[in-house]
Amino acid sequence: MKTFEEKFTAWLDGNLRGEDLRSFENDSMRSEKEEFHKLKNLLRENLKGCEMEHPDFFNSQVMAQIERERASGLRRVRTWFGVPRFAWGGVFALVIGSALFFTIIPRSQMRDPRSDYVAEVLKAKTADPNIKATVDNQKDITIIKLENLDKATPEKAKKSDH
Amino acid sequence: MNEVQERSSKIVADHGPSDTVEPDDGTLVKRCQAGDSSAFNELVTRYRTKVFTMVYGMVQNEQDAWDLAQEGFLKAWRSIHRFKGQSSFYTWLYRIMTNVTIDSLRRKGIHGEAEFDDRISPDSVEPGSRTTPSSVPLPYKKVEHNEIRQRIDQAIAKLSAEHRAVIVMKEIEDLQYSEIAEILECSIGTVMSRLFYARKKLQSLLRDVYENL
């Protein structure tokens, strides 16, 4: 269903047909149409006369701008393939490498499990100040040496045997 | 669509010598897409006058129309690789030009309710500016014509950017509703409705002008 505005516009431009057209055909509407045709003619006569001055200069300005943009585009491409590209590439690779190192590789796998035992032993407290603990890290083995410990009594030895 | 293509052919015929066949828009567009800027130069030559007339009709300022038409052609060149031929080149170019012009009018804060623009007051019109067609009228006729032109410019300045666009495309370019709708990317009903209100407003502003002619 067309609105009144649509029908009116179609009628003015001679595009209305059938029943819709008949509803617009009366004296008052006809005078309205004449008025619109005067307006239409006024606009056409006055607005159509505008001509572009120096049209060839217009072209030359457009084409000069296109050539400038092309040249700057080529320069941008050349610069991108130059030194800055490699510098940025290096920075990018470093960032990616660091991110992988700290996120993907589990931290637990990087720790030496032996260090936990060593820390456990060294952390243990004793009332005897003469007891001395020393750690000797060798290639495939860690030696923890405890000096001045009491000798185990036979009862304690038996318990530990069980 | 066929009508647009026919119109394009007519333009070619207007500009080209009768014994040589100029390439159609599609061929020139393909050459542009391959990077041939001379083909684009031909398209600019083909459409510059019509484009300028349309933009000028909307902005009523020769310098602005010149700049906007150039901006539109540059935008067309930058995005011509995206033109797939779904509409005619003419419609596609008009869409770019209309968008550029409407954006410019909006940036200037023109919403159709502004008072008369100072830039187009009688004092700012160059005495030698050409506002008439190429034939040389009698001096008193020329003054009268200039006055009428100023009244029309002032009336159009009171329209919104969208209303100016439909008036120029319909009354000056004589485009079909469907073509205008395609260019403005809106429905035919919207085009007709905008035409209704734009014409009503112009009618009220210019009644004394056309009644006294």
Among A33, A34, A47, most B C-beta atoms within 10 A, so best to mutate, is: A47
**Residue A138 pLDDT > 70, yes or no?**
yes
Judge whether B150 is closer than 8 Å to chain A, CB to CB.
Answer: no
Judge whether B208 is closer than 8 Å to chain A, CB to CB.
Answer: no
Q: Is B149 exposed, middle or buried (0-12, 13-18, 19+ CB in 10 A)?
A: buried
Angle between helical axes of B188-211 and B177-184 (0-180°, round to 10): 110
**What is the predicted pLDDT for the residue at A74?**
65
Closest by CA position to A47, among listed B100, B156, B70, B111 = B156
- Contact list in B for residue A70 (CB cut-off 8 A) is 37
Per-domain boundaries in chain A: 4-47, 55-103, 111-161
Rounded CA-CA distance B86/B68 in Å is: 25
**What is the predicted pLDDT for the residue at A112?**
62
Put simply, the answer to whether A36 touches B168 (Cβ < 8 Å) is no
CB nearest to B199's CB, from A6, A39, A58:
A39
Per-domain boundaries in chain B: 2-211
Put simply, the answer to whether B189 touches A3 (Cβ < 8 Å) is yes
Mean pLDDT in chain A? 80
Residue A49's pLDDT band, with cuts at 50, 70 and 90, is low
Q: Is B122 exposed, middle or buried (0-12, 13-18, 19+ CB in 10 A)?
A: exposed
Q: Is B90 within 8 Å of B1 (Cβ atoms)?
A: no
Put simply, the answer to whether A46 touches B145 (Cβ < 8 Å) is yes
- Contact list in A for residue B62 (CB cut-off 8 A) is 53
Q: Is A39 within 8 Å of B200 (Cβ atoms)?
A: no
Query: Higher pLDDT residue, A31 or B193?
Result: B193
Pick the CATH number of B2-211 from 3.40.50.720, 3.40.50.300, 1.10.1740.10, 1.10.3720.10: 1.10.1740.10
